[in-house]
Amino acid sequence: MTHHPSPTTRLTTSRPRRLVVKLGTGVLTSGIGELNTARIAAVCAGIAALRARGTEVIVVSSGAVGLGMGRLRLEKKPKEIAKKQACAAIGQSLLMQTWQAGFAPHGLTVAQVLLTHDDLRLRSRYLGVQETLRQLISYGTIPVINENDTVSAAEIKFGDNDMLSAMVASLTGAEHLIILSTAPGLIDLKGTKEIVPVVERITPEIEAMAGGTTSETATGGMVSKIAAAKLATKSGCGVFIASGAEPEILAKLLCGRGPGTFFVPSGLPLVARKRWLAYFQRPAGTISLNDRAVPVLREQGRSLLAVGVTGSRGEFAAGDIVNLAGPDGIVFARGRTAFGSDEIPALAGQQGPAVAALYPARKRLEVIHRNDLVLL
Ligand code: GLU
């Protein structure tokens, strides 16, 4: 029998230039709000070893709400938003103390970065965050990022830190995102009952393997990890999902010795601006297209013209990000519209000269210019 190297060795690099490590509440704590100091120390040692070999590491850490709950001796996660936000405020400082203490023996300094969804959704703030992270890394510190839960109301939330970590990986151009949780990887419950070592493409079957979280303090679960992996792999970043309890897990993953699941990055990463357009936005509505327009956008990479539009849903203004759907209702692209939803009825199905007659002063008449359009 010929010897095959582990399937991940050919896909990963044991010395990535930059990686994002995301830790779930369940990895950092044992029981509600009790820190698992030994595990945190082990993770810090693993990260310090990577740093010593020249890899830049950014940490995305959950645990603020959980640690706050522990400090207040709450057994159950409160339902009220204000209570959760208060827990996060209490727990966040404990969380940073923990990271600081964990990295101190390695001579490493941590930097707290708290983000809301708006910080990445607005282009100017996105660029600002990118610049600050770059600076923190060049100062030799380890950024420790969490969502700014205390001020994130429902509509500006990332949802969970899995998605936040994928956005951070995309934003910083990290080679790998390593999501450490209590799960050992993606398990094929229907088939082999074992960890799936490599996922080449996230298909509906892969998505169906994921089930929701059950723990009191955690938020994500496998569903959100797969969603995060989808975003990150499309940005050209390889994603690992593995157990944070496994000794020396970071080193093992990077040299292809698992155990865990590796999601192969897509071969064609989007250019950074399109990435931001595609994944960092909350579309304000949907523009529907006729069946002639769909392949023109999909296969020829052209702009969307009024003639291909059949209608729209939702309220949006010129400059907003919208989804694009074909006649089957399936969303296949996203872009920045040059017209608001109130203008769409008059434009839909019109040929160029008719649109020009409606908007005599405008130079550009595309509904969405191809540079502002990205296929999903
Ligand atoms: N930001 C939350 C916290 O630190 C966690 C969200 C998550 O686990 O996804 O408690």
Kindly tell me if the per-residue pLDDT of 13 is higher than 60.
no
**273 CA distance to ligand 1 middle (Å):** 27
- CATH fold match for the domains 9-271 and 283-375: no
For the chain, domain boundaries: 9-271, 283-375
Assigned fold of 9-271: Carbamate kinase (3.40.1160)
Burial class (CB in 10 A: 0-12, 13-18, 19+), 8: buried
Nearest atom of ligand 1 to the alpha carbon of 146: 1
Render pLDDT for 322-370 as a digit per residue (tens, 0 to 9): 999 999 999 999 999 999 999 999 999 999 999 999 999 998 899 999 9
Distance 260 CA to ligand 1 centre (A): 22
**Alpha carbon of 321 to ligand 1 centroid (Å):** 27
Question: What ligand 1 atom has the least distance to the C-alpha of 24?
Answer: 8
335 - beta bridge partners? Answer: 322, 373
Distance 25 CA to ligand 1 centre (A): 7
Which fold would CATH assign to domain 283-375? 2.30.130
Q: pTM, whole model, 2 decimals? A: 0.81
Q: List the beta bridge partners of residue 368.
A: 304
pLDDT, tens digit, for every residue of 226-240? 999 999 999 889 999
**Which atom of ligand 1 sits closest to the CA of residue 65?**
10
Give me the pLDDT at residue 192, please.
Answer: 77
**CA gyration radius for the chain?**
23
* Nearest ligand 1 atom, CA 67: 10
> Percentage of the chain surpassing pLDDT 70?
92
Q: Which two tokens stand for residue 40?
A: 């945190």
Instruction: Specify the pLDDT at position 74.
Output: 93
User: Model confidence over 56-73: pLDDT tens digits?
Assistant: 999 999 999 999 999 999
Residue 2 has pLDDT above 70, yes or no: no
Centre of ligand 1 from the C-alpha of residue 194, in Å: 28
Pocket test for ligand 1, best of 32, 151, 219 (most atoms within 8 A of CB): 219
- Asked whether the beta carbons of 66 and 25 are under 8 A apart, the reply is yes
How close is the Cα of 185 to the center of ligand 1, in Å? 19
Residues in CB range of 188: below 8 A, 6 or more apart: 194, 195, 196, 209
Atom of ligand 1 nearest to the CA of 87: 10
Distance between Cα 341 and ligand 1 center (Å): 36
**What are the pocket residues of ligand 1 if the criterion is a CB atom closer than 6 Å to any ligand atom?**
24-25, 62-66, 88, 146-147, 149, 160-161, 218-220
Residue 345 to residues 293, 305, 341, 362, Cα–Cα distance (Å): 17, 14, 8, 18
The pair phi, psi for residue 227, each rounded to 5°, is -60, -40
Using alpha carbons only, give the angle 152, 154, 157 rounded to the nearest 5 degrees: 55
